[in-house]
Amino acid sequence: MLAEIIAVGSEMLTPHRQDTNSLYLTAGLNDLGVSVAFKTIVGDNRKHLVSAIRIALSRADIVLLSGGLGPTEDDLTRECLAEVLHLKLHRSDAILESLRQRFSARNIAMSPNNAKQADVLDGATILPNAAGSAPGQWLDIHYEGNRKLVALLPGPPKELKPLFDAECKPRLAAALPGNHLARRILRMALIPESQVDERTAPIYQQFPDVETTILAGHAEIQLHFVCVKPTLAEAEARVDDVLDLVAREMGDAIFSFNGESLEEIVLLMLGVRGHTLSIAESCTGGWLGERLTAIPNSSRVFLGGAIAYSDRSKTALADVPSYLLTEHGAVSDQVARALAEGIRRRIGSTLALGITGIAGPAITTGPDATKPVGLVYIALTNGEDTQVKQFRITGDRDRVRLWATQYALEILRHYLQ
């Protein structure tokens, strides 16, 4: 079974907006053992949309359309699908009534063009939209002699996602032959993709029925294993088999077996080990703090820290002695150590990290003037021992900063293991 996803909306043909619904829909289709063969993005243009729908119906078994269900003249998805399928639209009294209630609950007069949202293709099932005014529609039809499953879904992700899960996915599952999909995700940081592939390919290639994908980016490598079988137990067993062998090969380079992020794992381990953490960040400027505090309940183990961006703030917030800054420069083994030790004493956490480096542009005066962009020192202290590591990170300012936060989290994870 092949699927095509059509995202409708002229804004997605500008340099500023992108379709993201298709990622969510793809995950849902994959869960049912269905692959996506094509994605098409088309504007609010009758001729173009009719042509895109016609092509999709001729090459895919399942066609999901998102967007173009609103009340304006630009919203053409219903009309265009009706044209291609030679179906008529009828105005649904039930939808009209719920639209009226929606508007009166908000004390707004319903403008006449809103009634358009009550237009339903003959033979379509209405899919209620709990989060918005435009309902979805579902068609199980024949087109050029073949069975096609077609869904019209609203464009806003907050409406599309719950509607797809509640109304569309169960109908797809009921219409499809018994396919069950198991998926596992391994995540690794700070290891080259080529090395991961070299070491794991001989393993995963022995599992031709498991689809293995290596994704690299954002300072980590992900290995995705997906298997489709007639029963869930069979699919899970195969995925677990390859996962066990790969895990044995890659050892503790793997930080997560179920898709959790590195910061989630580190926070979890801090809690399990009864530790608390504080940080002092120079070149990363708060990014490590932001990553940790993006996780709900991080306050149980993360106590806070210093954005020690200037010499003055290093001294004032983390008690870095000024002579270290003058003698060794802010970007030095000694200052990384002093940042970690100073912030730990100040905040009273059991562990602390200190990060200092040159994200770029190069520093042109003082003791750091000779040091290269990308030089980063990271210190971890438990109050008794402090370890400092030096890194040379390549790439632009953003990459140096991201990788510095990633190295800091990895140092902490290895310490906690």
Under rule CB under 8 A, which residues in 197-256 are in contact with a second copy? Answer: 213, 215, 222, 224
38 touches a second copy (CB under 8 A)? yes
| Strand residue runs (E) in 244-367 | 254-256, 277-281, 302-307, 351-357
Binding-site member from 15, 145, 208, 251 for a second copy (CB under 8 A): 15
Q: From the CA atom positions of the chain, what is the Rg in Å?
A: 28
- What is the footprint of a second copy within residues 357-386 (CB under 8 A)? 360-361
Closer by beta carbon to a second copy, 125 or else 309: 309
- In this chain, which of 46, 88, 91, 312 binds a second copy, going by CB under 8 A? 312
φ/ψ bin of 329: left (φ > 0), alpha (ψ from -120 to 50), beta (otherwise)? left
- How near is the Cβ of 30 to a second copy at its closest, in Å? 7
Taking CA atoms, 150 is separated from 5, 50, 113, 147, 293, in Å, by 10, 14, 25, 10, 42
- Cβ at position 228, least distance to a second copy in Å: 14
> In the complex, what is the shortest distance from the CB of residue 380 to a second copy, in angstroms, rounded to a whole number?
17
Interface positions, 44-103, toward a second copy (CB under 8 A): 45, 48, 51-52, 55, 59
User: In the bound complex, what is the minimum distance in angstroms from residue 126's beta carbon to a second copy?
Assistant: 27
Instruction: Write out the binding residues for a second copy, residues 396-415 only, by CB under 8 A.
Output: 397-398, 401
Report d(CA 21, CA 14) in Å as an integer. Answer: 17
Residue 286 lies near a second copy (rule: CB under 8 A):
yes
Q: Output b/e per residue, 9-38; b: 16+ Cβ within 10 A.
A: bbebeeeeeebebbebbbebbbbbbbebee
Residues in CB range of 29: below 8 A, 6 or more apart: 3, 35, 36, 62, 64, 172
Residue closer to a second copy, measured from CB, 118 or 288: 288
Least separation in angstroms between residue 171's CB and a second copy is 20
The answer to whether the CB of 7 falls within 8 A of the CB of 67 is yes
Crossing angle between the packed helical segments 193-204 and 232-250, to the nearest 10 degrees: 130
| Residue 36 binds a second copy, judged by CB under 8 A | yes
Structure tokens that stand for 257 in this block = 């077996």
134 binds a second copy (CB under 8 A): no
308 binds a second copy (CB under 8 A): yes
CB of 100 to a second copy, least distance (A): 21
Candidate segments 71-79, 198-206, 273-281, 364-372, binder of a second copy by CB under 8 A? 273-281
